[in-house]
Each structure stands twice: as C-alpha cells, then as structure tokens.
Structure 1
C-alpha cells in the first residue's frame, strides 16, 4: 500500500524544518516533484489538534520528497531489477533511484508481488484546494479506496495542482489557468511511464505485473486531464489505462466532439470511460451561468454526442442518490461530491473499477444502451 504525491507546487523550506516541503502558494512551476506519504506513523488527530494554527503540512500527514534522478531514463531501474533477480551484478540499489524512477520501481515491485488485485488510482482533485486541503483529501481517499475491502485499489497517485484556497468566484479563473498549466505535468508523467514500459519490458527477464491503472478526476480536475489530452499526440497514445472515471466534470459538454480534440482521445487511452453526473449539481450550475458563458457542463448535463464511443463510454446519472455517508449542508445542497457523500455512488465506482460489465452493475436502471441511473 502506498500513497504518492505528484505536484508542480513550489518547493519551500518552512521555518524550523530541516526538510523541503510543498508550498500552499497558488501558482504552478514548470517541473513536478514526487513524494511518498508516511502512513506507518500516522495518527488520527483529535478535534483540538485540528483547531490549532499549526495543524498544517506535515502535522496533517507526513511525506518525503524523492530525490531528483542523477540520470534520465530507466536503464538504472532495469539494472536494479535484474540485480535483485540475480541476473546481473550491480552496485546500484533502489536508494540510487530518484523521481519517477523510484515511483515506477516501487509500484512495479509491489504490484508484481501479489496475484490479488493491486490497482493504482491516479486522482486529480477539483477547485479551491490548497496543499493542506489536499493532504486531508489524501487521508480520506486512502480510507475510501485502499482501506475498503470493496475496492481493488492498493496505491494512489494524487495529482496535486495549485488551486486557489478561496472559493471566491474570481479565483475560479486563476484555477482554470493553473489547471491548464498542470496538465503539462500530467502529460510528462504519461510519456515517462510509456518510456518506462518500453525500457523495462524490452528485457525478456521481466514481465508485466498485469495489474490495472485507473484515472479519476473530480470537478475542475477534469480540465487538468483535458489540458493533457490537448497536447497528447494520437500516434503516441498507448492504451495503458483501464478505467477513466469522470466525476461531476467541470468542462464543456462538447469535450468528446472532434472539434474539441481532447476527450475524444480517451478511448485510445483507456478500456472504459464513465461519466458520473448529477443534474442538480449546484456548483456546476453556478459555473455554467457565471463563469463559462452559459456553456453546459459535462458533469451536470452530460455529453453532447458520444455516438462514436457508445461501446466504451457510459453515462451514470447520480441525481437521485442519497447522501448517507456525508450529509452536511455543503453536500446536500451542492450535489457535487457524490463520490464522498453517497455509499450508492461509491459502490457503483467500486464495481466499475473491478471491471464488472456495465449492464451487470447492481442498483442501476438502464435508460439507454450506455446511459444508466443509480437507483435509491
């Protein structure tokens, strides 16, 4: 089990600390860094601790930044793996690896060590998260997807992009710009990963782990994914993702059209795409009428036309689900966080991640060939 952070936030050294940390600053930098969260020594804080002003950064959740790699590429990863199998002698160890080298090495080792499901979930958060909010979200996601036996996920890669810490409407435009910039980091990760696959599995002594990788995006996090897809060349796309889960997506309802040239690339990247929407989503309603020139949002209205992809893309209507996990005013009125607030949505997502045929997922009604409604 592991939770990793992929972030293009600024790196800072906080007063009194001896190690580098991610910043709460609201702007992105060109390069991303990778960190690993430390849950071995994690203790649930008391309500009093949460109220303290020092309940920030590593007081919420400890993490360790990976060093930058001394050499680019994955030849040293291959050398370490072959050395560990006794095939090649080398003085290199895993401690010599940095950045994505260390990330991919650890994931491959852990995912290869079991015959059970040991999937990776790449999660991209939405609007108005500072880094402290992200750390809290990582704890919640671990409980939901890793600790839960109903989920096949064993590892989470949390994409940390510097959204604004305020929910003031004008900050939305800053977040749109930041999400576009952050898509470049995700694109680089994709290219690094495909290069890793080519470098490692060109050697016959190493075999794929046959586990699955999924992408889940919430709200404005879908724009990060869209930014990556804009720049992704079709000839460079490999189908390396199993499920793509689009939650309450704050992007145009036309993103699957060829004129947008973004989400229409997802069927080349993934085995299955699921659009979870809520037609009473207040947050997306505000987004549509105040910030996006009346353009309907994918996560509220559904896509304009996915006829070419109806065998791969499913639409799941969550309008009538109950908020029985989290039922505060924010969740009940917003109708924007069903994956956190509703056990019905969570169950549907788990079944999706397990790869159950979309026509056999429980507690759904079939409205059309690829349109479903979760029933209460």
Structure 2
C-alpha cells in the first residue's frame, strides 16, 4: 500500500523544521513535486486535537518529499531493476532514484509482486481546498479505497493543486486559472509515465504487472483533467488508463463534442468512462448560474452528445441515492459529494473499478444503452 502526493504547490520550510513541506499558498509552480505519505504509527486525532491551531500540515499526516532526479529519463530505474534481478550489475540502488523515477519504481515493484488486484487510483480534487484540506481528504480516500475490502485499489496518487482556501465567489475564477496551470503540469507527468513504460518494457527481462490504473476527478478537478487533455496531442496518447470516473463534474456539458477539444480525447486514453451526476447538485447549480454564463454543468445535466462514444462512456444518475454515510447539512443540501456520502454510489464505483460489465452492475436501472440510474 502506498499513497503519493503529486503537487505543484510552493515548497517551504516551516520554522524549527529540517524538512521541506508543501505550502498552503494559493499559486502554483511550473512543475510537480512528489511526496510519499507515511502512515506508520498514525493515530486518528481526537476532536480536541483537531481544534488546535497546530493541527496543520504534518500534524495531520506525515509525508516525505522525494529528491529531484539527478538526470532525466528512466535508464537508472532500468539498471536498478535489472541489478535486483541479477541480470546486470550496477552500483545504483533505489535510494539513488528521485521524483517520478522513485515513484514509478516503487509502484512497479509493489504491483508486480502480487497476483491479487493492486490497482492505482489517480485522484484530482475540486474547488476550495488548501493543502491541509487535501491531507484530510487523503485520509478519507485511504479509508474509502484502500482500507475497504470491496475496493481493488491499493495505491493512490493524489493530485494536489493550489485551489483557494475559501469559497468566496471571486476565488472560483482564481481556481479556474490554477486548474489550467496544473493541467499543463499533469500533462508533463503523463508524458513521463509513457516514457517510463517505453524505457522499462523495451527490455524483455521485465514484464508488465498487468494491474490497472484509474483516474477519478471531482468537481473542478475535471478542469485540471480538461487542461491536461487539451494539451495532449492525439497521436501521443496511449490507452494506459482502465476506468475514468467523472464525479459531479464542473465543466461544460458540451465537453465531449468535437468543437470542445478536450474530453473527446478521453476514449483514446481509457477503456471506460463513467459520468456520475446528480440533478439536484446545488454546488453545480450555483456554478452554472453565477460563474459560467448559464452553461449547464456536466455533473448536473449530463453530456449534450456522446453518441460517438456510447460504447465507452456511461452516464450514471445518482439523483435518488441516500446520503447514508455522511448526512450533515453540507452533504444533504449540496448533493455534490456522493462518492463520500452514499454507500450506493461507492458500491457502484467499486464495481466499475473491478471492470464489471456496465449492464451487470448491481442496483442500477437501465434507462437506455448507456444511461443508468442508481437505485438504493
């Protein structure tokens, strides 16, 4: 089990500390840095501890930033792997690897060491998260996807992008800009990953682990994904993703149309795409009427036209599910966080990740060929 943070937040050193940390500042740097979360000795904080002013950063969850790689490319990773197999002698060890080299090396080692499902979930959060909020979200995602035996996910790559720390309406536009910058950084990470695959598996002594990688984007996190896709050239896209979950997406309902050169590239990247929507989503309703010139949102209204992609793209209506896990006013009134608040939505997601045929997923009502409604 491993959880990594991929962040283009500013790097700072807090007073009295000897290690670098991610900042709560609301602007992005040009590239991602990578950190690995440390859950050894982790204890759930008490309510009193959460109220303290020092319940921030590593007091929420400890993590260690990876060093930057000494040189680009993945030849060093290949040398380490071949040395460990006794095929090629090398003075390099895993401790010499940095950045994506170290992360990809660890994931490959973990995912190829088991015959059981050991999937990776890349998660992109939404609007109005500071870094402390992100650390709390990581803990929630670990419980949901890793600790839960119903889930095939064993590893999480949490995409941390510098959204604003409050919900003042004007900050929405700051987050839109930050999401675009972060998407460009995520595009470079995608290219690093495809280069890793080419460099490592061009050697016949190393074989793919045959595990699966998924992407889940919530709310404005879909804009980060949109920005990444916009920057990708179609001829450079490899189908390296199994499932893509678009959760309460705060993007235009037209993103799959030809003139919107973004989500229409997703079918080139993934085996299956699932749009989870809620027609009572208050947050997306506010987004539509106050910030997006009355443009319907994908996560509230569904897509305008996905006819060319109906074999790959499914629409899952969550309007009638119960918030039986988290039923505070925020969740019941907002109808925006079904993946956290509803066991019905979670069960649907788990079956999706396992690759169950969309027509055989339990507790779904089939409306037509690729549109379904979750029934509690």
Specify the TM-score bucket, using the shorter chain as the normaliser. over 0.9
Residue 113 of structure 1: aligned partner = 113
| Number of residue pairs the alignment of both structures matches | 376
Residue 334 of structure 1: aligned partner = 334
How many angstroms does 1:77 deviate by? 0.1
Residue 300 of structure 2: aligned partner = 300
How many angstroms does 1:41 deviate by? 2.1
How many angstroms does 1:42 deviate by? 1.1
Matches within 5 A, 1:16-35: 16-35=16-35
| Distance in structure 2 (CA, Å) of the matches to 1:354 and 1:39 | 26
| Distance in structure 2 (CA, Å) of the matches to 1:227 and 1:82 | 37
Residue 4 of structure 1: aligned partner = 4
| Distance in structure 1 (CA, Å) of the matches to 2:62 and 2:184 | 27
Query: Alignment partner of 1:286: what SS?
Result: helix
Residue 38 of structure 1: aligned partner = 38
How many angstroms does 1:170 deviate by? 0.7
| Distance in structure 1 (CA, Å) of the matches to 2:41 and 2:32 | 26
TM-score (norm 1): 1.00
Off by >3 Å, runs of 4+ in structure 1: none
| Distance in structure 1 (CA, Å) of the matches to 2:338 and 2:240 | 27
Deviations 1:126-159 (A, max 9, x none): 0000000000000000000000000000000000
Matches within 5 A, 1:58-137: 58-137=58-137
Do residues 197 (structure 1) and 197 (structure 2) align? yes
Deviations 1:214-243 (A, max 9, x none): 000000000000000000000000000000
Residue 309 of structure 1: aligned partner = 309
| Distance in structure 2 (CA, Å) of the matches to 1:375 and 1:47 | 35
Residue 368 of structure 1: aligned partner = 368
TM-score (norm 2): 1.00
How many angstroms does 1:43 deviate by? 1.1
Deviations 1:10-29 (A, max 9, x none): 00001111100000000011
Residue 324 of structure 2: aligned partner = 324
How many angstroms does 1:277 deviate by? 0.1
Query: Alignment partner of 1:109: what SS?
Result: helix
Residue 13 of structure 1: aligned partner = 13
Do residues 186 (structure 1) and 186 (structure 2) align? yes
| Distance in structure 2 (CA, Å) of the matches to 1:77 and 1:188 | 19
How many angstroms does 1:187 deviate by? 0.3
Query: Alignment partner of 1:31: what SS?
Result: strand
Residue 288 of structure 1: aligned partner = 288
Query: Alignment partner of 2:31: what SS?
Result: coil
| Distance in structure 1 (CA, Å) of the matches to 2:15 and 2:167 | 28
| Distance in structure 2 (CA, Å) of the matches to 1:85 and 1:183 | 37
| Distance in structure 1 (CA, Å) of the matches to 2:267 and 2:235 | 13
Matches within 5 A, 1:194-273: 194-273=194-273
Query: Alignment partner of 1:367: what SS?
Result: strand
Residue 170 of structure 2: aligned partner = 170
Query: Alignment partner of 2:207: what SS?
Result: coil
Query: Alignment partner of 2:9: what SS?
Result: coil
| Distance in structure 2 (CA, Å) of the matches to 1:48 and 1:368 | 50
Residue 352 of structure 2: aligned partner = 352
How many angstroms does 1:91 deviate by? 0.7
Residue 277 of structure 2: aligned partner = 277
How many angstroms does 1:357 deviate by? 0.1
Deviations 1:270-313 (A, max 9, x none): 00000000000000000000000000000000000000000000
| Distance in structure 2 (CA, Å) of the matches to 1:191 and 1:356 | 29
Root-mean-square deviation over aligned CA pairs: 0.4
How many angstroms does 1:211 deviate by? 0.1
How many angstroms does 1:31 deviate by? 1.3
